[in-house]
Chains A and B, each alone.
Chain A
Amino acid sequence: MKLLKQLKYSLLKVIDLSGLTFLAPIVRLCYGEEPKVQLQKIGQWILVPIAGVCAFLFLWHITSGSIQTKSGTLPNPVETWQGYNAIDTQAEREGLKKTSYELVGEERDQMLADAEDRLAEVKVQVAETNAAVTAAKEAVDAQTKELIAPLDKEYKELKSQYKAASKARKAVLVTDADSLKAGNVAEYNAYYEKVEESVVKTAQEKEELSILKKKIDKIREIKSPEVAKALLEQTFAAEEAQYLSKQIELLSDRNRAVQVETATGMISTYNEEFLSLTGKAAYDKARSIAKAKERLSKMESSSYAQPATIWYQVKRSIFCVFTGFIIGTAIAVPIGILCGLNSTFMAAMTPFIAIFKPVSPIVWLPIALIIVSGLIPDPDNNPLMLFLWDLPLIGEYKINPAFIASAVTVALCSLWATLANTALGVASIDKDHMNVARVLKLGFFARLFKIVIPSALPLIFAGLRISLGVGWMVLIAAELLSSSEGIGKFVWDQFNNGASDSLAKMMVVVFLVGIIGLILDRIMIVFQRMVTFEGSVSV
């Protein structure tokens, strides 16, 4: 019983620390504490937000169909969800391809058999979907033709009619011109008017024709949902078939173990042949063996060149934002502390802070990119880069100049909040606490680490939280511009790709970025609460 009660208080404490206060009423309700009040709170803080989300999804669903974009209508929630699935499937397939490349022995045989079975199934699907697309298109074509036929007929009739009429008018006017008497102004004017009238009439007829033509074109342009659906299924099947044949390839001929085996076999046959040869032929064989051996050694250590998947990009973005955030913090906190301690230093720094603070990331990025590229002109042979690529955990993220420039941009844009808050926190330290330090005769560093920094920590962390939020926003733009592999680059690739589901995939990114930003903020809130003490200055 006592344990249960203790559990309740620790649960509530965790909830309070993490800022997930909407969960508190549920815990209290489970313990039967004022059920009426708790239900009311649950209604307000859980049900109402859920209802809000539902209302948003509903509005999105009904309005998206009527918003025309360059690539079809705005994706609705269902299409966005499909976009997410497509991204996720692609990532999963890339992972499987890598495994396929590295797989050996019975497992490989098993997987190969599975893939071949599945490919046989999918091939049937491909044929089916192709037929379905053709059928749907034919049906739509027939429908369109039926719709267009009367209009087309009318158009053709009118066109020939107007052409004849215009020809006749011209003939009459030309003959009329023969009877004009030179010098008679009134007669000439009357003739000119007739010609003008005829020109206007011809233009009117053309206009009529073009309106009709547009009507016909519009009918042709109508996209049938059946065709779109058939096309989508066709794409799915075709993509899977393509993936499977690639996988089969990686499991058989292009599998690393298989390639190594073939090469080894070849070398041993070469060796046998070599022993019976003399003269130039022997030299040639020896050279071939040496080359084959070299290839073999490279092959053995090679890994599958996997294209970036969305989850890799997400991880790299998070890594990049923390890199920039740490650089920014390492600059902002010491400068902030100095500013807070010393008003002269603060006065010296104020102009720089005031001028650099409002500068947009779009300006910092190209500058950072040029400087970093200048410092690291050839990343593949740069000792620092090679060192970073060999590091255990971060090596797989292939830190390159674009990455560094993005991180530096994040640092430059996000450090200001931390700097200002640190300076404020240090400057507003309680005078009594400083008096304590004086009575205790603490030295500069003891004073700094035992009094000043602990007392300023809540404000410093409030600043860090803002900084991380700003950095995350800046990073996506920086990656988009610098083509540093990450979420921003994913958006840019989709923008340039222009496939039918690109827009849906970009919408997915909106939520992805939002959710990750939310999680980062939550983490910072927990840190902030952990260092906050009673009576500290809060923002």
Chain B
Amino acid sequence: MNDILQINNASVSFGPPSNRTDVLKDLQLSVKENEFVAVIGFSGAGKSTLMNLLSGLQQPSSGEVLYKGESIKEPGPDLGMMFQNYSLLPWLSVLDNVKLAIGAVEPKISKSELDEKAHHYVKMVKLDHAFDKKPHELSGGMRQRASLARTLSLDPEVLLLDEPLSALDALTRSELQDQILNIWEKDKRTVVMITNDVDEAVLMADRIVPLTMGPGATLAEEFEVNMARPRDRHTLNDHPEFMRLKSEITKFMMGLNKESKELAADIIPMPKVEPKSFAPPVLSPTFKQNPVSRKGNNNVA
């Protein structure tokens, strides 16, 4: 058995015992070594909570989360987490942020080695022009790269990427996707990435696991991505397998959305009341209100 990460029947609930809400319920997941798994889900489904579970920042209310067959009691550098909101220390420069991480993992490292190693990781994410910059002097994409450099510098067994590219514009995004893939291919390790972008998931992952709508979200039937690597993003749109997977997953996700809306049918219907106007009628053009689009999440598609 070479499952490096495993979730067995784990649930996470919040709130007092009398009024508990299950955020995640009956999770089942196993990740093989050197596998790239993408978890896809809607905003608010509990993706970050799932990530916290995997990194050990949070303990499951029931069930267990295993790393190399042992239950995860506390977070550690082996499970390298890249936080959704960068979490760079704002009073340190990019280089010092990376150095702090390396110093924490290898306390006995010499000063010159530390320096060299930190430079290496910053260069790896192509931030060498911004060594001495403080996080607030960087753009969103650069911050995310700095955060990635810090996570990589831990030399983790498992990379946990929590929506690493969500805040980026399309161009920077594809650039960073390539970088992550490059790093992963060069230096094989296990990756669990959370995303809300189907294209991204299909492009990058070996396996895609959808997370259903919360509350009580759980991991649904997974999709295998059987496409040869390296995958070329330029010809991807002509790849029949890519198109098939994309449409299938999108359909599945849209179905989830619809399902959840039907589930939410017990919303108390509001009486249709309109305030009576006592104002005298005015001769002015009136606007018809545009029907609000109720097409759930625009990220999916």
- Whether the pair A440, B87 counts as a contact (CB closer than 8 A) is no
Contact residue among A438, A442, A533 (Cβ-Cβ distance under 8 Å from B74): A438
| Any A CB within 8 A of the CB of B55 | yes
Q: Quick one: closest A residue to B57, CB to CB? A: A435
Residues of chain B in range 60-103 having any CB-CB distance to chain A below 8 Å: 74-77, 79-81, 83, 85, 87, 89-92, 100-101
Q: Quick one: closest A residue to B52, CB to CB? A: A435
Q: In whole Å, how far is A528's beta carbon from the nearest beta carbon of chain B?
A: 13
Contacts A435-B83, A533-B134; A441 near B77 (Cβ below 8 A)? yes
Alpha-carbon distance between A164 and B137 when the two chains are bound, in angstroms: 102
Residue among B76, B87, B135 facing the most chain A CB atoms (10 A cut-off): B87
- Whether the pair B83, A533 counts as a contact (CB closer than 8 A) is no
Residues of chain A in range 452-493 having any CB-CB distance to chain B below 8 Å: 454-455, 457
- Whether the pair A432, B83 counts as a contact (CB closer than 8 A) is yes
| Any A CB within 8 A of the CB of B4 | no
Interface of A is mostly: helix
Q: Quick one: closest A residue to B147, CB to CB? A: A436
| Any B CB within 8 A of the CB of A194 | no
Alpha-carbon distance between A75 and B242 when the two chains are bound, in angstroms: 91
- Whether the pair B100, A455 counts as a contact (CB closer than 8 A) is no
- Whether the pair B91, A455 counts as a contact (CB closer than 8 A) is yes
Q: Quick one: closest A residue to B55, CB to CB? A: A439
Contacts A435-B57, A435-B83, A535-B90; A440 near B101 (Cβ below 8 A)? yes
Contact residue among A435, A442, A455, A534 (Cβ-Cβ distance under 8 Å from B135): A534
Q: Quick one: closest A residue to B80, CB to CB? A: A439
Residues of chain B in range 122-148 having any CB-CB distance to chain A below 8 Å: 134-136
Measured between beta carbons, the chain A residues less than 8 angstroms from B245 are: none
- Whether the pair B89, A454 counts as a contact (CB closer than 8 A) is yes
Q: Quick one: closest B residue to A457, CB to CB? A: B91
Measured between beta carbons, the chain B residues less than 8 angstroms from A450 are: 100
| Any B CB within 8 A of the CB of A206 | no
| Any B CB within 8 A of the CB of A446 | yes
Q: Quick one: closest B residue to A436, CB to CB? A: B87
Contact residue among B76, B89, B91 (Cβ-Cβ distance under 8 Å from A436): B89
Residues of chain A in range 181-234 having any CB-CB distance to chain B below 8 Å: none
- Whether the pair A439, B100 counts as a contact (CB closer than 8 A) is no
Q: In whole Å, how far is A435's beta carbon from the nearest beta carbon of chain B?
A: 6
Alpha-carbon distance between A430 and B74 when the two chains are bound, in angstroms: 19
Q: In whole Å, how far is B129's beta carbon from the nearest beta carbon of chain A?
A: 19
Contact residue among A435, A440, A536 (Cβ-Cβ distance under 8 Å from B90): A536
Q: Quick one: closest A residue to B79, CB to CB? A: A439
Measured between beta carbons, the chain A residues less than 8 angstroms from B136 are: 533-535
| Any A CB within 8 A of the CB of B104 | yes
- Whether the pair B75, A533 counts as a contact (CB closer than 8 A) is no
Q: In whole Å, how far is A451's beta carbon from the nearest beta carbon of chain B?
A: 7
Q: Quick one: closest A residue to B137, CB to CB? A: A534
Residues of chain A in range 493-515 having any CB-CB distance to chain B below 8 Å: none
Q: Quick one: closest A residue to B83, CB to CB? A: A432
Contacts A534-B135, A534-B136; A439 near B76 (Cβ below 8 A)? yes
Measured between beta carbons, the chain A residues less than 8 angstroms from B87 are: 430, 432-433, 435-436
Contacts A439-B57, A533-B134; A454 near B91 (Cβ below 8 A)? yes
Alpha-carbon distance between A442 and B77 when the two chains are bound, in angstroms: 10
Contact residue among A436, A442, A531 (Cβ-Cβ distance under 8 Å from B83): A436
Contact residue among A430, A438, A535 (Cβ-Cβ distance under 8 Å from B75): A438
Residue total for A at the interface (Cβ-Cβ under 8 A): 21
Q: In whole Å, how far is B78's beta carbon from the nearest beta carbon of chain A?
A: 10
- Whether the pair A440, B77 counts as a contact (CB closer than 8 A) is yes
Measured between beta carbons, the chain B residues less than 8 angstroms from A457 are: 91
Measured between beta carbons, the chain A residues less than 8 angstroms from B29 are: none
- Whether the pair A446, B135 counts as a contact (CB closer than 8 A) is no
- Whether the pair A439, B77 counts as a contact (CB closer than 8 A) is yes
- Whether the pair B104, A534 counts as a contact (CB closer than 8 A) is no
Residues of chain B in range 25-57 having any CB-CB distance to chain A below 8 Å: 55, 57
Q: In whole Å, how far is A448's beta carbon from the nearest beta carbon of chain B?
A: 14
Q: In whole Å, how far is A457's beta carbon from the nearest beta carbon of chain B?
A: 7
- Whether the pair A533, B104 counts as a contact (CB closer than 8 A) is no
Measured between beta carbons, the chain B residues less than 8 angstroms from A533 are: 90-91, 134, 136
Contact residue among B75, B85, B90 (Cβ-Cβ distance under 8 Å from A439): B75
Q: In whole Å, how far is B105's beta carbon from the nearest beta carbon of chain A?
A: 7
Q: Quick one: closest B residue to A442, CB to CB? A: B104
Q: In whole Å, how far is A443's beta carbon from the nearest beta carbon of chain B?
A: 9
Alpha-carbon distance between A455 and B135 when the two chains are bound, in angstroms: 14
Measured between beta carbons, the chain A residues less than 8 angstroms from B91 are: 454-455, 457, 531, 533
Alpha-carbon distance between A479 and B44 when the two chains are bound, in angstroms: 62
Contact residue among B76, B85, B90 (Cβ-Cβ distance under 8 Å from A441): B76
Alpha-carbon distance between A25 and B165 when the two chains are bound, in angstroms: 42
Alpha-carbon distance between A238 and B240 when the two chains are bound, in angstroms: 110
Alpha-carbon distance between A432 and B52 when the two chains are bound, in angstroms: 12
Measured between beta carbons, the chain B residues less than 8 angstroms from A535 are: 90, 136
Q: In whole Å, how far is B267's beta carbon from the nearest beta carbon of chain A?
A: 33
Alpha-carbon distance between A533 and B57 when the two chains are bound, in angstroms: 27
Alpha-carbon distance between A342 and B89 when the two chains are bound, in angstroms: 22
Residues of chain B in range 149-200 having any CB-CB distance to chain A below 8 Å: 154
Measured between beta carbons, the chain B residues less than 8 angstroms from A536 are: 90
Alpha-carbon distance between A441 and B101 when the two chains are bound, in angstroms: 10
Measured between beta carbons, the chain B residues less than 8 angstroms from A446 are: 104
Per-residue 0/1 for A298-335: is the Cβ within 8 Å of any B Cβ (1 yes, 0 no)? 00000000000000000000000000000000000000
Alpha-carbon distance between A536 and B134 when the two chains are bound, in angstroms: 13
Q: In whole Å, how far is B121's beta carbon from the nearest beta carbon of chain A?
A: 14
Alpha-carbon distance between A457 and B79 when the two chains are bound, in angstroms: 30
Q: In whole Å, how far is A338's beta carbon from the nearest beta carbon of chain B?
A: 22
Measured between beta carbons, the chain A residues less than 8 angstroms from B81 are: 435, 439
Q: Quick one: closest A residue to B81, CB to CB? A: A439
Alpha-carbon distance between A438 and B73 when the two chains are bound, in angstroms: 12
Q: Quick one: closest B residue to A536, CB to CB? A: B90
Contacts A432-B87, A534-B136, A535-B90; A441 near B104 (Cβ below 8 A)? yes
Q: Please list 27 pairs of residues, one from A and one from B, whose beta carbons are closer than 8 Å in the complex, sorted by A's number.
A: A432-B83, A433-B89, A435-B75, A435-B83, A436-B83, A438-B74, A438-B75, A439-B55, A439-B57, A439-B75, A439-B79, A439-B81, A440-B100, A440-B154, A441-B74, A441-B75, A441-B77, A442-B104, A451-B89, A454-B89, A454-B92, A457-B91, A533-B91, A533-B134, A533-B136, A534-B134, A534-B135
- Give A contacts to B, CB under 8 Å: 430, 432-433, 435-436, 438-442, 446, 450-451, 454-455, 457, 531, 533-536
- Give B contacts to A, CB under 8 Å: 55, 57, 74-77, 79-81, 83, 85, 87, 89-92, 100-101, 104-105, 134-136, 154
Report the 8 A-B pairs with minimum CB-CB distance, sorted nearest first.
Answer: A534-B136, A440-B104, A432-B87, A533-B90, A533-B91, A438-B75, A454-B91, A439-B75
